[in-house]
Amino acid sequence: MTVRLGANRYGKAETRLVHVVRNGPVHHVKDVNVSTFLSGDMEAVHLTGDNSAVLPTDTQKNTAYVFARRHGVGQIEEFALRLARHYVTAQPTVHHARVEIEEYGWHRAGPHSFVRDGGEVRTCVAHHDRDGRTTVVSGLRDLVLMNSTGSEFRGYIVDEYTTLAPAADRVLATAVTARWRHTAPEASSYAKSYAEVRQCLLEAFTGTHSRSLQQTLYAMGERVLTTCPEVCEIRLTMPNKHHFAVDLTPFGLDNDNEVFHAADRPYGLMEGGVLRDDAPDAGFAWE
Protein backbone atom coordinates (compact mmCIF):
# COMPACT_ATOMS: atom_id res chain seq x y z
CA MET A 1 0.00 0.00 0.00
CA THR A 2 1.24 3.51 -0.81
CA VAL A 3 0.05 6.81 0.60
CA ARG A 4 0.50 10.38 -0.55
CA LEU A 5 -0.14 13.90 0.67
CA GLY A 6 -3.58 15.23 -0.20
CA ALA A 7 -4.97 18.74 -0.41
CA ASN A 8 -3.63 20.98 2.30
CA ARG A 9 -3.41 24.58 3.41
CA TYR A 10 -2.34 26.48 6.49
CA GLY A 11 -2.70 29.97 7.87
CA LYS A 12 -3.52 32.32 10.70
CA ALA A 13 -7.07 32.07 11.98
CA GLU A 14 -9.06 34.89 13.56
CA THR A 15 -6.67 37.81 13.73
CA ARG A 16 -8.69 40.46 15.55
CA LEU A 17 -8.08 43.88 14.08
CA VAL A 18 -9.66 47.21 14.93
CA HIS A 19 -8.75 50.16 12.72
CA VAL A 20 -9.62 53.69 13.87
CA VAL A 21 -9.65 56.31 11.14
CA ARG A 22 -9.03 59.67 12.77
CA ASN A 23 -10.65 62.37 10.64
CA GLY A 24 -10.03 65.28 12.95
CA PRO A 25 -12.52 65.09 15.84
CA VAL A 26 -14.76 62.61 13.95
CA HIS A 27 -13.47 59.04 14.02
CA HIS A 28 -14.52 55.96 12.02
CA VAL A 29 -14.10 52.37 13.19
CA LYS A 30 -13.58 49.11 11.33
CA ASP A 31 -13.72 46.01 13.56
CA VAL A 32 -12.80 42.81 11.74
CA ASN A 33 -11.68 39.23 12.21
CA VAL A 34 -9.20 38.10 9.52
CA SER A 35 -8.29 34.50 8.67
CA THR A 36 -5.71 33.68 5.99
CA PHE A 37 -4.99 30.30 4.40
CA LEU A 38 -2.13 29.56 2.00
CA SER A 39 -1.36 26.58 -0.21
CA GLY A 40 1.26 25.72 -2.82
CA ASP A 41 4.65 23.98 -2.73
CA MET A 42 4.17 22.59 0.76
CA GLU A 43 5.09 18.93 0.35
CA ALA A 44 8.48 19.19 2.05
CA VAL A 45 7.16 20.68 5.28
CA HIS A 46 4.69 17.79 5.63
CA LEU A 47 6.99 14.98 4.54
CA THR A 48 10.36 16.02 5.98
CA GLY A 49 9.72 19.02 8.22
CA ASP A 50 11.58 21.37 5.84
CA ASN A 51 10.11 24.82 6.59
CA SER A 52 11.85 26.71 3.77
CA ALA A 53 8.57 27.14 1.82
CA VAL A 54 6.52 28.23 4.82
CA LEU A 55 5.53 31.81 5.57
CA PRO A 56 4.98 31.77 9.36
CA THR A 57 1.42 32.28 10.50
CA ASP A 58 2.68 35.00 12.84
CA THR A 59 3.91 36.85 9.76
CA GLN A 60 0.46 36.56 8.25
CA LYS A 61 -0.98 38.16 11.38
CA ASN A 62 1.51 41.02 11.17
CA THR A 63 0.78 41.50 7.47
CA ALA A 64 -2.89 42.15 8.22
CA TYR A 65 -1.93 44.82 10.77
CA VAL A 66 0.58 46.48 8.45
CA PHE A 67 -1.82 46.54 5.51
CA ALA A 68 -4.50 48.11 7.72
CA ARG A 69 -2.06 50.87 8.69
CA ARG A 70 -0.78 51.47 5.17
CA HIS A 71 -3.96 51.10 3.14
CA GLY A 72 -6.82 51.15 5.63
CA VAL A 73 -9.44 48.42 5.69
CA GLY A 74 -12.24 49.94 3.63
CA GLN A 75 -14.70 47.38 2.30
CA ILE A 76 -13.79 43.98 3.69
CA GLU A 77 -13.87 42.41 0.22
CA GLU A 78 -11.26 44.89 -0.99
CA PHE A 79 -9.05 44.26 2.05
CA ALA A 80 -9.34 40.49 1.59
CA LEU A 81 -8.38 40.74 -2.09
CA ARG A 82 -5.43 42.99 -1.27
CA LEU A 83 -4.06 40.46 1.20
CA ALA A 84 -4.70 37.44 -1.04
CA ARG A 85 -2.92 39.01 -4.00
CA HIS A 86 0.01 40.04 -1.83
CA TYR A 87 0.70 36.51 -0.62
CA VAL A 88 0.56 34.99 -4.11
CA THR A 89 2.68 37.77 -5.63
CA ALA A 90 5.27 38.10 -2.88
CA GLN A 91 5.92 34.43 -2.07
CA PRO A 92 6.97 32.03 -4.89
CA THR A 93 5.94 28.97 -2.87
CA VAL A 94 2.38 30.27 -2.36
CA HIS A 95 0.16 29.36 -5.30
CA HIS A 96 -3.23 30.07 -3.77
CA ALA A 97 -4.45 32.36 -1.01
CA ARG A 98 -7.81 32.32 0.70
CA VAL A 99 -8.75 35.25 2.97
CA GLU A 100 -11.89 35.19 5.10
CA ILE A 101 -13.08 38.26 7.00
CA GLU A 102 -15.91 38.91 9.44
CA GLU A 103 -16.93 42.50 10.20
CA TYR A 104 -18.66 43.60 13.40
CA GLY A 105 -20.78 46.74 13.17
CA TRP A 106 -20.66 49.76 15.46
CA HIS A 107 -23.22 52.59 15.56
CA ARG A 108 -22.05 56.12 16.14
CA ALA A 109 -22.97 57.65 19.50
CA GLY A 110 -20.80 60.74 19.14
CA PRO A 111 -17.79 62.04 17.17
CA HIS A 112 -15.57 59.38 18.73
CA SER A 113 -18.06 57.21 20.63
CA PHE A 114 -19.66 54.01 19.37
CA VAL A 115 -22.19 51.35 20.39
CA ARG A 116 -21.60 47.75 19.28
CA ASP A 117 -24.24 46.54 16.87
CA GLY A 118 -26.00 43.42 18.16
CA GLY A 119 -27.25 42.45 14.71
CA GLU A 120 -25.83 40.40 11.89
CA VAL A 121 -22.15 39.92 11.09
CA ARG A 122 -20.93 40.86 7.62
CA THR A 123 -18.63 38.29 5.98
CA CYS A 124 -16.55 37.68 2.88
CA VAL A 125 -14.17 35.12 1.40
CA ALA A 126 -11.69 36.07 -1.34
CA HIS A 127 -9.56 33.65 -3.36
CA HIS A 128 -6.62 34.45 -5.61
CA ASP A 129 -4.18 32.09 -7.28
CA ARG A 130 -1.01 32.16 -9.37
CA ASP A 131 -3.01 31.91 -12.63
CA GLY A 132 -4.74 35.18 -11.82
CA ARG A 133 -8.11 33.64 -11.02
CA THR A 134 -10.01 35.67 -8.45
CA THR A 135 -13.35 35.08 -6.76
CA VAL A 136 -15.23 36.97 -4.07
CA VAL A 137 -18.11 35.65 -2.00
CA SER A 138 -19.79 38.22 0.24
CA GLY A 139 -22.22 37.38 2.96
CA LEU A 140 -23.80 37.80 6.34
CA ARG A 141 -24.71 35.61 9.28
CA ASP A 142 -27.00 35.85 12.31
CA LEU A 143 -29.64 37.97 10.57
CA VAL A 144 -32.49 37.04 12.92
CA LEU A 145 -35.96 37.39 11.37
CA MET A 146 -39.48 36.54 12.49
CA ASN A 147 -42.98 36.65 11.04
CA SER A 148 -45.62 36.33 13.75
CA THR A 149 -48.18 35.12 11.18
CA GLY A 150 -48.36 34.46 7.44
CA SER A 151 -46.74 31.04 7.74
CA GLU A 152 -48.14 27.52 7.63
CA PHE A 153 -46.89 23.95 7.36
CA ARG A 154 -49.15 21.12 6.28
CA GLY A 155 -49.55 18.50 3.55
CA TYR A 156 -46.29 16.78 4.50
CA ILE A 157 -45.52 13.03 4.67
CA VAL A 158 -47.18 11.28 7.59
CA ASP A 159 -45.84 7.89 8.66
CA GLU A 160 -45.98 5.76 11.79
CA TYR A 161 -43.51 8.05 13.58
CA THR A 162 -45.17 11.39 12.78
CA THR A 163 -46.64 13.30 15.72
CA LEU A 164 -46.43 16.85 14.36
CA ALA A 165 -49.85 18.44 13.87
CA PRO A 166 -50.48 20.50 10.71
CA ALA A 167 -50.16 24.25 11.25
CA ALA A 168 -52.38 26.70 9.36
CA ASP A 169 -50.97 29.73 11.19
CA ARG A 170 -47.59 29.64 12.89
CA VAL A 171 -44.65 31.83 13.88
CA LEU A 172 -41.80 31.64 11.37
CA ALA A 173 -38.42 32.61 12.80
CA THR A 174 -34.89 32.02 11.59
CA ALA A 175 -31.29 33.25 11.77
CA VAL A 176 -30.13 33.69 8.18
CA THR A 177 -26.66 32.89 6.95
CA ALA A 178 -26.32 34.05 3.34
CA ARG A 179 -23.34 34.00 0.98
CA TRP A 180 -23.42 35.40 -2.52
CA ARG A 181 -20.96 35.13 -5.38
CA HIS A 182 -20.00 38.12 -7.50
CA THR A 183 -19.89 37.53 -11.25
CA ALA A 184 -17.09 40.07 -11.79
CA PRO A 185 -15.43 40.91 -8.47
CA GLU A 186 -13.63 43.98 -9.74
CA ALA A 187 -16.84 45.52 -11.04
CA SER A 188 -18.79 45.24 -7.79
CA SER A 189 -19.47 48.14 -5.45
CA TYR A 190 -19.36 46.03 -2.31
CA ALA A 191 -21.04 48.44 0.09
CA LYS A 192 -23.91 49.12 -2.32
CA SER A 193 -24.23 45.44 -3.18
CA TYR A 194 -24.33 44.43 0.49
CA ALA A 195 -27.10 46.92 1.28
CA GLU A 196 -29.16 45.81 -1.74
CA VAL A 197 -28.81 42.09 -1.04
CA ARG A 198 -29.70 42.57 2.61
CA GLN A 199 -32.78 44.59 1.66
CA CYS A 200 -33.85 41.91 -0.83
CA LEU A 201 -33.57 39.23 1.85
CA LEU A 202 -35.72 41.27 4.24
CA GLU A 203 -38.35 42.14 1.63
CA ALA A 204 -38.72 38.56 0.43
CA PHE A 205 -38.94 37.18 3.96
CA THR A 206 -41.57 39.67 5.07
CA GLY A 207 -43.51 39.61 1.79
CA THR A 208 -43.81 35.85 1.26
CA HIS A 209 -46.76 33.89 2.61
CA SER A 210 -44.78 30.85 3.64
CA ARG A 211 -45.99 27.30 3.18
CA SER A 212 -42.56 26.03 4.16
CA LEU A 213 -39.23 27.52 5.19
CA GLN A 214 -37.78 26.03 1.99
CA GLN A 215 -40.23 28.10 -0.08
CA THR A 216 -39.21 31.23 1.81
CA LEU A 217 -35.53 30.42 1.31
CA TYR A 218 -36.00 30.18 -2.47
CA ALA A 219 -38.05 33.37 -2.59
CA MET A 220 -35.26 35.22 -0.79
CA GLY A 221 -32.59 33.92 -3.17
CA GLU A 222 -34.75 34.62 -6.21
CA ARG A 223 -35.34 38.21 -5.11
CA VAL A 224 -31.61 38.79 -4.78
CA LEU A 225 -30.78 37.43 -8.23
CA THR A 226 -33.57 39.30 -10.02
CA THR A 227 -32.61 42.58 -8.33
CA CYS A 228 -28.81 42.50 -8.15
CA PRO A 229 -27.17 41.86 -11.56
CA GLU A 230 -23.68 41.66 -10.05
CA VAL A 231 -24.66 38.54 -8.07
CA CYS A 232 -24.75 35.23 -9.96
CA GLU A 233 -25.33 32.77 -7.10
CA ILE A 234 -26.50 32.85 -3.51
CA ARG A 235 -26.47 30.13 -0.87
CA LEU A 236 -28.62 30.29 2.25
CA THR A 237 -28.66 28.42 5.54
CA MET A 238 -31.79 28.95 7.63
CA PRO A 239 -32.58 27.15 10.89
CA ASN A 240 -36.22 26.93 11.86
CA LYS A 241 -36.32 28.63 15.26
CA HIS A 242 -39.40 26.83 16.53
CA HIS A 243 -42.05 28.64 18.54
CA PHE A 244 -44.55 26.31 20.18
CA ALA A 245 -47.86 27.59 21.53
CA VAL A 246 -48.05 26.90 25.27
CA ASP A 247 -50.99 24.83 26.52
CA LEU A 248 -52.70 27.09 29.07
CA THR A 249 -55.86 24.99 29.53
CA PRO A 250 -54.67 23.70 32.95
CA PHE A 251 -55.04 27.32 34.10
CA GLY A 252 -58.44 27.85 32.55
CA LEU A 253 -57.06 29.98 29.73
CA ASP A 254 -57.14 29.71 25.98
CA ASN A 255 -54.11 30.55 23.85
CA ASP A 256 -54.88 31.79 20.36
CA ASN A 257 -51.28 31.92 19.18
CA GLU A 258 -50.31 34.56 21.73
CA VAL A 259 -47.96 32.84 24.20
CA PHE A 260 -45.11 30.68 22.88
CA HIS A 261 -42.20 28.65 24.10
CA ALA A 262 -39.16 29.55 21.98
CA ALA A 263 -37.37 26.22 21.68
CA ASP A 264 -33.58 26.13 21.60
CA ARG A 265 -33.03 22.65 20.13
CA PRO A 266 -33.48 20.43 18.24
CA TYR A 267 -34.37 22.55 15.23
CA GLY A 268 -35.01 22.09 11.54
CA LEU A 269 -32.20 23.29 9.30
CA MET A 270 -32.77 24.30 5.68
CA GLU A 271 -29.96 24.89 3.19
CA GLY A 272 -30.16 25.73 -0.47
CA GLY A 273 -28.67 27.65 -3.35
CA VAL A 274 -30.17 29.76 -6.11
CA LEU A 275 -28.14 30.63 -9.22
CA ARG A 276 -28.52 32.13 -12.64
CA ASP A 277 -28.60 29.84 -15.66
CA ASP A 278 -25.66 31.77 -17.09
CA ALA A 279 -23.62 31.82 -13.88
CA PRO A 280 -19.90 31.25 -14.58
CA ASP A 281 -18.20 28.22 -13.13
CA ALA A 282 -17.72 28.67 -9.40
CA GLY A 283 -14.18 27.24 -9.40
CA PHE A 284 -12.83 27.43 -5.87
CA ALA A 285 -15.20 30.23 -4.76
CA TRP A 286 -17.07 28.15 -2.18
CA GLU A 287 -14.04 26.35 -0.73
Query: 100-110, pLDDT tens digit by residue?
Result: 999 999 999 99
| pLDDT surpasses 70 at 199 | yes
| pLDDT surpasses 90 at 236 | yes
The active-site residue, picked from 57, 93, 183, 227, is 57
pLDDT on residue 117: 87
For 260, residues 6+ apart whose C-beta sits below 8 A from its C-beta are 171, 243, 244, 245, 246
pLDDT on residue 185: 81
What integer is the mean pLDDT of 247-270? 96
pLDDT band at 124 (very low <50, low <70, confident <90, very high): very high
Q: How far apart are CA 99 and CA 126, in angstroms?
A: 5
Q: Give yes or no: 241 in active site.
A: no
**CA 257 to chain CA centroid, nearest Å:** 33
CATH entry, 143-287, from 3.30.590.10, 3.40.50.970, 3.10.270.10, 1.10.10.10 = 3.10.270.10
Please state, rounded to an integer, the average pLDDT across all residues of the chain.
96
The active-site residue, picked from 182, 241, 242, 243, is 242
Phi/psi for 46 (5° steps) reads -80, -40
Q: Is the dihedral of CA 205, 207, 212, 218 positive or negative?
A: negative
Same fold, 8-132 and 143-287: yes
pLDDT band at 92 (very low <50, low <70, confident <90, very high): very high
Q: Give yes or no: 12 in active site.
A: yes
Q: How far apart are CA 262 and CA 64, in angstroms?
A: 41
pLDDT on residue 121: 98
pLDDT band at 118 (very low <50, low <70, confident <90, very high): confident
> Topology of 8-132 in CATH?
Urate Oxidase (3.10.270)
Sequence ranges of the domains in the chain: 8-132, 143-287
| pLDDT surpasses 90 at 23 | no
Do 270 and 238 contact (CB within 8 A), yes or no?
yes
Q: What is the pLDDT of residues 165-192, one digit of tens each?
A: 999 999 999 999 999 999 988 766 999 9
**CA 3 to chain CA centroid, nearest Å:** 36
pLDDT on residue 187: 65
The active-site residue, picked from 12, 30, 127, 182, is 12
Q: Give yes or no: 227 in active site.
A: no
For 207, residues 6+ apart whose C-beta sits below 8 A from its C-beta are none
